[in-house]
Structure 1
Amino acid sequence: MTVSNGWFYWAMLSAIFAALTAIFAKIGIQGVDSDLATLIRTAIIMVVLAAFIAYAGKWSSPWQLSPKTWLFLVLSGLATGASWVCYFRALKLGPASQVAPVDKFSLVLVAVFAFAFLGERPSLRDWAGIAMVGGGVLVLALKR
């Protein structure tokens, strides 16, 4: 497997942290409203990111960004917020071992949306892997 530009390592770290997110959240939302838990999580993320940006010297004025950038960052933020609210509610109601993989159906949707809207063209091999993820989600979602 050839991996360039280090994206794969960052993606793997993302997957590890996402897995930990599910486990920590499932434990943390016991006895707490899932929406309140999402708000607390979001506040912590804001503090951590602000500290990271300040420490790394990456701060620049967000007011200098283009209107298009603002539009899509706002839309991304709204989608993220909706995703987190839904995810925490699902974790509150279901087992993390089923909720997290079903949440990852987003992989299938990203591939379809990237094909339709971004002009990306995954290979046949890529589509086979994406289809397997979709099949795995169906297996998890079907009642036993």
Structure 2
Amino acid sequence: MESSNTWWIYALLSAFFAALTTIFAKIGLENIDANLATAVRTVVVALMAWGIVIAKGTIDQLTTISPRTLIFLAISGVATGLSWLFYFKALQLGKAAQVAPIDKSSVVMVILFSALFLQEPLTPKVILGALSIVIGTLILVL
């Protein structure tokens, strides 16, 4: 089992690769339909994810997933697909340095949704951080 205090390393790696995703996608979107580009990317992600599952030997857990978990993972997959489709279209039409901050403002939405649906607390620190993200996003895109 991994240490519970190493989550931030994975979060930083996620941010790093998300940044590379934007740069590589912007370059790759030249002369191609954004939906086709998203489909190609999705196949690569799916193959990579299944490859890791098979390599780690965790594919046997597939049969133990509850129906509720499957439903929420499926809904999350639909949301991911829509996010990627809209992101690639925005990236194709706009500047990466403007599209990415707006996309990352989803953090503010996560904070709001986590308070509404997961009963996570909206502390003054969380509210100040969310407002800072909104202000920073506005500064970057206006």
Q: Same fold (TM over 0.5)?
A: yes
SS in structure 2 of the partner of residue 5 of structure 1: helix
Instruction: Supply the AA of the counterpart residue of 1:138.
Output: L
Return the alpha-carbon distance in structure 1 between the equivalents of residues 79 and 140 of structure 2.
24
Which residue in 2 is equivalent to 1:21? 21
Structure ranking higher in helix proportion: 2
**Post-superposition offset of 1:63:** 4.0
Which residue in 2 is equivalent to 1:139? 139
Which residue in 2 is equivalent to 1:120? 120
TM-score, normalization by structure 2: 0.92
Comparing 64-73 with 85-94, which one deviates more in the overlay?
A: 64-73
Return the alpha-carbon distance in structure 2 between the equivalents of residues 39 and 126 of structure 1.
36
Return the alpha-carbon distance in structure 1 between the equivalents of residues 20 and 55 of structure 2.
25
Alignment of 1:74 onto 2:74:
yes
**Post-superposition offset of 1:61:** 4.8
Which residue in 1 is equivalent to 2:12? 12
Return the alpha-carbon distance in structure 1 between the equivalents of residues 74 and 124 of structure 2.
33
How many residue pairs match? The answer is: 139
Which residue in 1 is equivalent to 2:103? 103
- RMSD of aligned residue pairs (Cα, Å): 1.3
TM-score, normalization by structure 1: 0.91
Return the alpha-carbon distance in structure 2 between the equivalents of residues 117 and 47 of structure 1.
32
Identity percentage over the alignment? 45
Which residue in 1 is equivalent to 2:92? 92
Which residue in 1 is equivalent to 2:35? 35
**Structure 1 stretches of 4+ moved >6 Å:** none
**Post-superposition offset of 1:138:** 2.1
Point out where structure 1 has 5 or more consecutive residues left out of the alignment.
none
Return the alpha-carbon distance in structure 1 between the equivalents of residues 96 and 10 of structure 2.
23
